[in-house]
Chain A
């Protein structure tokens, strides 16, 4: 009880209307945030035999299945790129997006025991998986490097753009997670829709096929899906093709808009989350 210099004053009153994100408070809770990320990573493969190898095995199995079905059986056009190479550079970011999006959307429901017992910025819940799944993503990049080496693809300057697309790749599940986690706490229907939603996203994004197969005059609508820019961007970076900015920009605008509105909506719901669990 000695240093009374800067005593924190907390004011508790009803909140109403739209709130902006309290970044100062988030900063105060950053240790908690990283604890959550680290918990997710630790727990991800707890009590498995293969442990972290799953981070490689999972996408590898995906790649094999896709290559057999879509590459060999359906013989989908890939602009002349070997199908394994073509699909793996898309599956790696897609796996990350699907996993982090699902976990982020479920985050409030799976953390509901904690919600009623202690206060911290609720934003920690949907955002932590966005970071923790990056660990998997990083590991699974090894597969792509392996395949690239096998096909003797030499890295180009385009690879320097990769961080940009990684940020974009994180933006999508963050935006969707903010929206769906706060919606799911009110309407549990979200949980049941989620698997279809993820599947739909996969087929609408150019993962198993190339964006160039979409007819010219639909491309502008197609590119409003932020995943299109991310996936095509990843391909271009890794395989040294020209960066398809015409896909990237519309998607980025939509993604940022979703993130912004998601954050607003989340903040609005934050004050009533505990009451409607």
Chain B
């Protein structure tokens, strides 16, 4: 490693698709019959035009209804040995980019240069044939992925070993469970030896066990000095595995930089996962005649509003509200949910100066501090709510008002230490552990004495 040679150079790549295969509906029988007679000619023109873009000016932004730019003017460079994540919403062009780089489809404009042998894993088990045995499929799939027969011969035992299906290696794959199939397929892919790898959501398949195995393998690949482009929706995996991330939005490259920043920008771009929610107008603000919520914010210990939170640092959840009528005793609280919809906790404001006391009319800001090293990685949603206790009425509740992303950049001092794979659990406390070394077995009492 060390040498900063560019292995991927992408210059102004654009990709245009024609999707205008819209069928017109006809409201009368005569029109329908007429259309049926005329349609072969129309169909011919339509299918013919599917790949013709001569009439489209790539520079103009004219949004013709039947043409979409899956990618527009993408440029970036990747150094040898870099592991780069590619994120973006569905339809942002991530997969198209990988397809162009792996030569599956041509760009409409622009060019890219790739130095070295490239393997693309847009799917595991491409070309698996269910009538063939596991052994035969290893050879077939290996060849499809670009391995030479000799290479497969050499790695064959390793592949079988890795897959864990050696008992069924001479059984047709159609009798495999889907899990076995995936394991076998991944085993082949894992034994490729390319200089560059393009991976698309391969990790989204299979059970937790298998995903762990994939992530570990990804880690290995990264550490072997290979260059990896990794498309994923899994923000945890991206921040953990890729120091650098590229964010695509509507076919354009909008961010390129350190993963934490880019992931934060990504979440900020989506309204539903923003770290700040403010209402400008009293009429729009949630609440009733007694109290209105003005804002919910997620801040770091430095007071910055941010979507990405370091797993080791505290998270400040701030609620700004206005009491409109006096003499009420308020209960200000929020729920914290993870992306599976599981409620991690509910917490109530407990500032002693306002406990069980009616609050005067005016603005309030209540801030809670969730300590560092408590939450687990992932996206967390805050649902604030306010009640009055005299009488007991819920005055407002905003589901998933703000969200933040707990990120572990694996510097070694978080709860995961330097372990890279998935850790379970909805919380991730940093517990105090002690390990003592004893040279030989001693009696219980001696052990206690030693302490």
Listed in ascending order, the chain A residues whose CB lies under 8 Å from chain B are 1, 7-15, 31-32, 35-36, 39, 42-43, 46-47, 113-120, 186-187, 271-272, 274-276
Q: Is the C-beta of B165 less than 8 angstroms from some C-beta in chain A?
A: no
Chain B residues contacting A7 (CB-CB under 8 Å) are: 115-116, 195
Other A-B contacts than A114-B126, A115-B104, A118-B122, 13 sampled, CB-CB below 8 A, are A10-B113, A10-B114, A11-B113, A12-B106, A12-B107, A32-B143, A32-B144, A35-B139, A36-B143, A117-B104, A118-B123, A186-B48, A274-B104
B136 touches A42 (CB 8 A): yes
Say whether B117 contacts A272, CB under 8 Å. no
Contact B105 A14 (CB under 8 A): no
| Chain A residue nearest to B17 in the complex (CB) | A275
Q: By the criterion CB–CB under 8 Å, are B51 and A14 in contact?
A: no
Contact (A9, B113) CB under 8 Å given A14-B106, A117-B126: yes
Docked complex Cα distance between A31 and B152 (Å) = 11
| Segment of B127-135, B301-309, B364-372 in the binding face | B127-135
B74-109 residues at the A interface, CB under 8 angstroms: 80, 99-109
B131–A46 touching, CB < 8 Å: yes
Contact B144 A43 (CB under 8 A): no
Least distance between A33 CB and chain B CB atoms (Å): 9
Assembly CA distance A274 to B103 (angstroms): 10
CA distance A117 to B199 in the complex (A): 11
Q: How far is the CA of A209 from the CA of B11 in the complex (A)?
A: 62
Residue pair A43, B131 in contact (C-beta under 8 Å)? yes
Q: Which residues of A contact B136 (CB under 8 A)?
A: 39, 42
List residues of chain B with CB within 8 A of the CB of A117. 104, 122-123, 126
User: In the complex, what residue of chain B is closest to A114 when comparing beta carbons?
Assistant: B127
Query: B275 near A: Cβ within 8 Å?
Result: no
Interface contact A14-B108, CB-CB below 8 Å: yes
Q: Which of A1, A13, A115, A274 contacts B111 (CB 8 A)?
A: A13
Among A13, A42, A118, A276, point to the contact of B144 (Cβ < 8 A): A118
In the assembled complex, the Cα of A21 lies from the Cα of B136 at a distance in Å of 30
Q: Which residues of A contact B111 (CB under 8 A)?
A: 11-13
Q: A146 → chain B, closest Cβ, in Å?
A: 30
A270: shortest Cβ distance to chain B, in Å? 9
Cβ of B319 under 8 Å from chain A? no
When C-beta atoms are compared, the residue in chain B nearest to A33 turns out to be: B143
User: Which residues of A have CB within 8 Å of B123?
Assistant: 117-118
Complex CA–CA separation, A187 to B51 (angstroms)? 13
Offer 30 A-B interface pairs, CB within 8 angstroms, sorted by A.
A1-B195, A7-B115, A8-B115, A9-B114, A11-B112, A11-B113, A12-B112, A12-B113, A13-B106, A13-B111, A14-B108, A32-B143, A32-B144, A35-B144, A39-B129, A39-B132, A42-B131, A43-B129, A43-B132, A47-B131, A113-B126, A114-B126, A114-B127, A116-B99, A116-B104, A117-B104, A117-B123, A118-B120, A272-B50, A272-B51
B159 at interface by CB-CB < 8 Å = no
Kindly list chain B residues whose C-beta atoms are within 8 Å of the C-beta of A14: 106-110
Residue total for B at the interface (Cβ-Cβ under 8 A):
51
Q: How far is the CB of B56 from chain A (nearest CB, A)?
A: 13
* A15 engages B99 (CB within 8 Å): no
User: B112: which A residues are within 8 A, CB to CB?
Assistant: 11-13
Determine if A274 and B105 form an interchain contact, defined as CB atoms under 8 angstroms apart.
Answer: yes
| A275 with B107: CB separation less than 8 A | no
Query: Which B363-408 residues have C-beta < 8 A from chain A?
Result: none
Measured between beta carbons, the chain B residues less than 8 angstroms from A120 are 144, 146
Give Cα A117 to B95, complex, Å.
10
Distance in angstroms between the alpha carbons of A260 and B378 in the assembled complex: 57
Query: When the two chains form their complex, are residues B100 and A118 in contact, meaning their CB atoms are under 8 A apart?
Result: no
Bound CA–CA A72/B354 (angstroms): 109
Residues of A close to B117: CB separation below 8 A: 8
Residue of A nearest to B7 (CB): A7
Specify which of B105, B122, B148 is in contact with A275 (CB 8 Å cutoff). B105
Taking a contact as CB atoms under 8 Å apart, the answer to whether B148 and A119 are in contact is no
Which of B105, B143, B148 has the most C-beta atoms of chain A within 10 angstroms of its own C-beta? B143
Taken together as a complex, chains A and B put the C-alpha atoms of A114 and B99 apart, in Å, by 12
Which of A9, A36, A42, A187 is the one whose CB lies under 8 Å from B47?
Answer: A187
Give the shortest distance, in Å, between B89 (CB) and chain A (any CB): 21
Please indicate the chain A residues that have their CB under 8 angstroms from the CB of B139 in the complex: 35
A43-B129, A117-B126 in contact; A12/B50 too (CB < 8 A)? no
- Identify the closest chain B residue to A270 (Cβ): B106
Question: Are A118 and B127 in touch, CB under 8 angstroms?
Answer: yes
Q: Are A118 and B102 in contact (CB under 8 A)?
A: yes
Please report the C-alpha to C-alpha distance between residue A36 and residue B238 in the assembled complex, in whole angstroms. Answer: 36
Q: Give complex CA distance A271, B15 in Å.
A: 13
- Contact partners of A187 in chain B: CB under 8 A: 44, 47
Closest to A120 in B: B144
Q: Could you tell me if A35 and B105 are in contact, using CB atoms closer than 8 angstroms?
A: no
**Chain B residue contacts of A11, Cβ below 8 A:** 111-114
Task: Tell me if B140 counts as interface (CB < 8 A to partner A).
Answer: yes
Does residue B155 face the partner (Cβ distance < 8 Å to A)? no
